[in-house]
Amino acid sequence: MLTFHSERTKKRDAMTELDGGRLVRPFECPERVDIIIDRVRATDLGEIRAPEEYGLDPVLAIHDAGYVHFLERAWDDWSAAGMEGEAIPTIWPTRRMRGDVIPDTIAGEIGYYALAAETSLCAGTFEAAQASTDIALSALDHVMATGNPAFGLCRPPGHHAAVDQYGGYCFFNNAAIAAQRALDRGAAKVAVLDIDFHHGNGTQDIFYDRDDVLFVSLHGDPRQEFPFFLGHADETGTGAGRGFNVNYPLPSGTGYADWSETLDEAIARVHRYQPDLLIVSVGVDTFEHDPISSFRLISEDFTDIGRRLRRAGMPTLFLMEGGYAIAEIGINTVNLLSGFDS
């Protein structure tokens, strides 16, 4: 299988993540892509290609223009305001406050556009987010042109990013942007299957009232896990989208027996939908040793996931989301992809 990769994704190298009241080096770090690409090479998964550049039009087909331009200038505005650390919000438009007037000063704007505080903004974030989206779109175009699968080694990840909000390490929702481009280029229906440990709140929210994108997600129960405020089983879509959003929240400690049974149900739902394209939001943070997650998949399980996805028999685009057990991130990711190829 072809991999799309760019060194430009490493332009985001934040120093800080707010974690347990301390500032630590982010779990979502640039070495993640180095380790995965080394494993792609070591296993001869297939050719590695650089992405094309698509500019902001496909991003603006999903995200709010004010949000995109905020991300473009946020770091400069933050620095110009004399802030000494990386950019982290401290207040949000929460219940009973005004969410309809956007502040015009960086300390307020950042709370308007952030959905969580762990993800610091730093120099290079916007460039890396754009590179990540270019990778997703290049991989998409390959799948659409050939019918063959492709892997977009996206970083930063995308599935927590909503129309006008970043957080959970995500800025541009690569899977949503790719799904929209597929529709714009002739696909009638696209399914997004999200197997990252965390609920893909951004992707769900973007397509919640639509029937041309089916969103199906397996994830840690939001009663216990990030993003906490979305991802319950009773979120099934609204309006035309009713029935086209499917959540499978699973308890902490879930191992592969239960997880894979749920995956088969999710695949069966995707199959009934008969999409022209399947986009898999690939997180390997379901791994037993992931430092921020609580499922118990082992490395061999990822190979089996790939095999099960192959049996579904659809044109498939894989896009990287989470996975923070750095030592095994290459093995786990490439196991999944080579399981699909086998």
Active site residues: 160
Provide the Cα torsion 309, 283, 149, 180; round to 10°.
Answer: 110
Given Zn ion, ligand Q9C, none, residue 226, with its beta carbon under 5 to 8 Å by kind, binds: ligand Q9C
Q: Does 157 bind ligand Q9C (CB under 6 A)?
A: yes
Nearer to Zn ion, 220 or 315 (CB): 220
Rounded-to-integer distance, Cα 151 and Cα 95, Å:
40
Task: Tell which residue, 5, 131, 112, 133, has the closest CA to residue 61.
Answer: 133
Q: Choose one: 3-11, 68-76, 162-170, 306-314; the region binding ligand Q9C (CB under 6 A).
A: 162-170
Show contacts with Zn ion in window 249-288 (CB under 5 A).
283, 285
Q: Does 210 bind Zn ion (CB under 5 A)?
A: no
Determine the residue with CB nearest Zn ion: 322
Show contacts with ligand Q9C in window 90-119 (CB under 6 A).
118
CB of 283 to Zn ion, least distance (A): 4
Q: Could you give the count of Cα atoms lying within 13 Å of 82 in the half-sphere of its Cβ?
A: 0
Q: Between the CA of residue 124 and those of 169, 187, 301, what are the distances in Å?
A: 14, 33, 35
Q: Which residue in the set 33, 59, 154, 170 belongs to the binding site for ligand Q9C (CB under 6 A)?
A: 170
Q: Which residue in the set 220, 231, 322, 339 belongs to the binding site for Zn ion (CB under 5 A)?
A: 322
Task: Tell which residue, 185, 161, 191, has the closest CA to residue 174.
Answer: 161
Given ligand Q9C, Zn ion, none, residue 168, with its beta carbon under 5 to 8 Å by kind, binds: ligand Q9C
* b (16+ CB within 10 A) / e for 68-90: bebbeebbebbeeeeeeebbbbe
Rounded-to-integer distance, Cα 42 and Cα 232, Å:
39
Q: Does 322 bind ligand Q9C (CB under 6 A)?
A: yes
Size of the site for ligand Q9C (CB under 6 A): 16
Do β-strands 277-282 and 316-320 pair in parallel, antiparallel, or remain unpaired?
parallel
CB of 128 to Zn ion, least distance (A): 18
Q: Which residues contact 108 (CB under 8 A, 6 or more apart)?
A: 91, 102
**The residue type at 140:** L
Q: Which residue in the set 292, 307, 308, 326 belongs to the binding site for ligand Q9C (CB under 6 A)?
A: 292
Show contacts with Zn ion in window 282-311 (CB under 5 A).
283, 285
Summarize as ranges the residues that interact with ligand Q9C (CB under 6 A). 17, 19, 118, 157, 160, 168-170, 196, 198, 226, 283, 285, 292, 321-322
Summarize as ranges the residues that interact with Zn ion (CB under 5 A). 196-198, 283, 285, 322
